[in-house]
Amino acid sequence: MTTINFKREITDTFDHAIERATKALGAEGFGVLTRIDMHSKIKEKIGKELIPTVILGACNPMLAYEAYTANSDVASLLPCNAVVREIAPGKISLEFVKPTAMMQILGDTELAELAREADTKIERALANV
């Protein structure tokens, strides 16, 4: 089975973990374009409860530009998602997408090479949260 993300757990508050993740991604050139409070949306739309879960849509503009100009189909796989999930009070799971796994979908060797650079940046960001 292909691993689609990099994961680690930290001890922190949920909101502070989101701030830390955003800052760590920013240090690697990724801006957060979108934020989906998944637990709130599920509650709002279907009345079901989920553990606190936020999806941050992160984008490194230079890598995104290079990938898009190499193969415009990559747009369907952007931005890179970073998930912050509270798995217990004070215990946070961080799950950042693994770009190489996503690029395998397209079977494009040039994109796979670009994705390795993105993997390095995403993995480094995760380590710095």
Predicted confidence (pLDDT) per residue in 70-85, tens digit: 999 999 999 999 999 9
CA 51 vs CA 35, 41, 69, 87, 92: distances in Å:
16, 12, 38, 7, 11
pLDDT higher for 63 or 2? 63
Taking the C-alpha atoms of 105, 106, 108 and 112 in order, what is their torsion angle to the nearest 10 degrees?
-40
Give the chain's radius of gyration (CA, Å).
15
Question: What predicted TM-score, i.e. pTM, was given to this entire model?
Answer: 0.93
Q: In 3D, which of 71, 83, 76 has the Cα closest to residue 107? A: 71
The band of 27, judged by pLDDT with boundaries at 50, 70 and 90, is very high
Length reported for the chain: 129
Q: In 3D, which of 90, 81, 126 has the Cα closest to residue 12? A: 90
Structural domains of the chain ordered from first start = 5-127 (3.30.310.70)
The band of 34, judged by pLDDT with boundaries at 50, 70 and 90, is very high
- Measure the CA–CA gap between 5 and 2, rounded to whole angstroms: 9
Q: Are the C-beta atoms of 97 and 4 separated by less than 8 Å?
A: yes
What is the amino acid identity at position 20?
R
Q: Are the C-beta atoms of 30 and 97 separated by less than 8 Å?
A: no
- Measure the CA–CA gap between 17 and 84, rounded to whole angstroms: 7
